[in-house]
Amino acid sequence: MTVPTLQLNTGHPIPQLGFGVFLVDPAETERIVSDALELGYRHIDAAAIYRNEEGVGRAIAASGIPRNELFITTKLWNDDQGTQSAHDAIELSLEKLGLEQVDLYLIHWPTPKRDLYVESFKALEQIRASGKAASIGVSNFLVEHLERLEAETDTVPAVNQIELHPYHQRPAEKAYGHDHGILTEAWGPLGQGKYPLFELPEITAVAAAHERSAAQVVLRWHIQQGHIVFPKSNNRARMQENFELFDFELTDVEQASITALERGARVGADPREVN
């Protein structure tokens, strides 16, 4: 099964479905990522703060998959914001991943009280120019943060990775991204189990109609919305299920019924408060 790609504003393709390693035990990461790669995933979303980049790197090396067939993301952690710290951080991440370049490097949070995200993004511009990242972007940025980057830096972020699920659909951030050529990546695409998403009749009815799981239906909704998603699972069978999204399609009515679930209900941290 072929995962569709979207085009970043740098011209590089990015697989619309990936595999996330948030909260994956470092001791288990190599095995779990190896399973994902065997099942066909080619986009891995990592971060320095997940403390499992080494396991991701070992899985990549053991896979034998050509580097140009993989899309690897990692992220600059809050404590490493600043010009020199960012340069040091990408070097360490590349060393742990066993790579010469990541496909995408993101600022993990804007951390507004530190007020270093503009300086840090300028460092990411230098990192991209050096060839250590093919594309650069941000994570958890609100419109106010994106507007400041637009005013004070020379590069439009390739992506904004944000909490996004049926109860929290981020229309302002998505609209800004659409208007400025910034793709939207959805973390927590299934709501992290923090509300009964899979029991909602708007979901269960669609799942029954397509003979699919509730998770597959929600992930398919994301795909048809144009989001990039990377569900996380330690279970190989669930990884396989999450991968099987491209041989069915929701109708416009089904899509609309899920979109109508919007509540503005965040289940993760507020980007204005993470510092």
The residues annotated as belonging to the active site are: 50
Question: Are the C-beta atoms of residues 197 and 165 closer than 8 Å to each other?
Answer: yes
Q: How many Å apart are CA 21 and CA 234, to the nearest integer?
A: 9
Task: For tokens 């144009």, name the residue.
Answer: 226
Nearest to 161 by CA among 4, 3, 22: 22
Q: How many Å apart are CA 114 and CA 144, to the nearest integer?
A: 15
Question: Are the C-beta atoms of residues 6 and 229 closer than 8 Å to each other?
Answer: no
Half-sphere CA count of 214, side-chain side, radius 13 A: 15
Q: How many Å apart are CA 214 and CA 200, to the nearest integer?
A: 9
Q: Which amino acid is at 185?
A: E
